[in-house]
A and B are shown apart, each in its own frame.
Chain A
Amino acid sequence: MEMKMKAGATTIKKKRYTGYFSDIKKNWQLYVMILLPLIYILVFKYYPMYGARIAFCDYIPQKGVAGSEWVGLKHFINFINSPQFFVLIKNTLTLSLYSLLLSIPFPILLALSLHYLINQRFKKVVQMSTYLPHFLSTVIIVSMLHLIFNTQSGVVNNILNAITGEKINFMSLSKYFRHMYVWSGVWQDVGWNSILYISALAGVDPQLHEAAIIDGAGKWRRIWHIDIASIMPTISIMIIMSMGSIISVGFDKSFLMQNPTNLDVSEILSTYEYKIGIGGGMPNYSYPAAIALMTSIVTFILICVTNKISKSLSETSLW
């Protein structure tokens, strides 16, 4: 019995091998096409993952990884025990959760509003003007914040000055940093993020609405019971996707908005990695690499977990 199974397994294996070979022969051009992208992915995405092993040693560039001393989890433990650990995690999570809290409901609200606008021309105008900021760079967004909120020529302070007689330096005070960061993000991406919901709303079965109208349901109730209920899968996909970035908040915006006075709240994991790694005078590679690796692993776990939860709750998932 066992012998038979083994024999069977080898013939299947053989068949699969010859299958690959005949496939290469038949589809060799497809293999040629994928070659360049594959090399790109291996070199620029997978090699750095392999390179992340410097997190486990005291890497000295002149000696290479092999010549550097292997220290195991030293850098990871040092980071967790360092005074910065708590502050960095807190700053990073506050920014991302604050963003997430707003970046889920606002696009839905906008999409619903647009969906129920009767004047199609007006709808188009609103839509187009909400997409536009998405194409502005982070540098431009931060620059615009500086221009609008500065104390010399900024319009917000001019108006504030006319009303209260004082000016507030929004861009350098710690207590405003998070609000400036998050709300400018909402301004930039609310339109863009609403596109998916707009399309999902357009796909809602009109018969549901007709039946509800006959039953005497007004727009408020139809929005709640039909529209929101129907776009729930889209909402959960969006939540899963944003869960991934909850700890890996991007470098650019925080870095560009940083100044010496708001550093206590604007220093996040990615900017800290840069600063101690390559931004400072002495290059120090292993320690920031360990921080980055930890971030990556946590991100990956978060994506898997939210995906799983969403799968069991609503049968929608990324994979």
Chain B
Amino acid sequence: MSKIDFMPSELDLSQQAAIATPSAPRGAPPRYRRKALTWLQSGGLSRLAFLIPLIAIFGAFSWYPIVKLVITSLQQTNFALPAKWVGLHNFSLVIHDPLFPIAVRNTAEFAGLALLFGYPIPLVVALLVSELRRRRGLYAALVYLPVVIPPVVAVLLWYTFYNAGPTGVFNTILHWLGIGPQPWIQSQSQAMPSLVLESTWANAGGTVIIYLAALTGVNTELYEAASVDGAGIWKKIWHVTLPQMRTVLLVTMILQIIGTAQVFLEPYLFTQGGPNNATITVLLLIYNYAFGNSLGPQYGEAAALSVMLVAFLALFSLIYLRATRSWSSE
């Protein structure tokens, strides 16, 4: 239906509403009655009908669990016996848990290392792929391939790469280079960087595709103008490409920080938080509270730490968006 077709019917509706007013229930103020009728006659009911399934699904699977999470964080429960209200006791237990600062530090280390290495790598790869003149699609597909591999399979694959014996894949490569075997995930100092390395490999493909799409949006005339001004490749990237991509770059950065703050899969599957808690992260600690002990599931503490993480990430995102608003809207 075109816009021109639609306009007269809108007028018709308002006329009908005006005519229908006398039959509206008595007592209601005429303005509201008219509004309600207008809403009804302009398809409000069908809009609501379309909205209800969405509200029901979001309500049942998103909002209700969030409310339930907050309630659970104030309770002591094992879901078998009646729950007991304990106020902020769970929060206090979490803060005084000696593993809490270790988990926060480890998560920050993972996020920091991922930002240092995992963030620029997809950008560099995207720039390189976009510079290719032939088979760009093939290379983009190859870069994206690790994302297609199921995460658990990828971790099992890397588990064999990280075999600490001299016959392990990485240790064999190091041997060719004249370097002795490394313990990888079995070392307290090497475990976390090893997890970041795998995670970068596994997740970079998705970001590369986003960057490649963003690069197509950069106005080519700007490059030509830069060339006329005598700019080389680096100056073009620095003065044209990056500023033109800044909105996408800022979004991927916040998404990466939120994602890495919730890292679970790698430490859970590779090291279960070991060795000696070197890779225990906030999410793994939440998991351990809830499921780590067969006798005393501490669901209250798990919920409390979850609420703390959500609050922190929400606050962080807010500050980040405020701080970068001027850059992205320039």
Partners in one complex: no
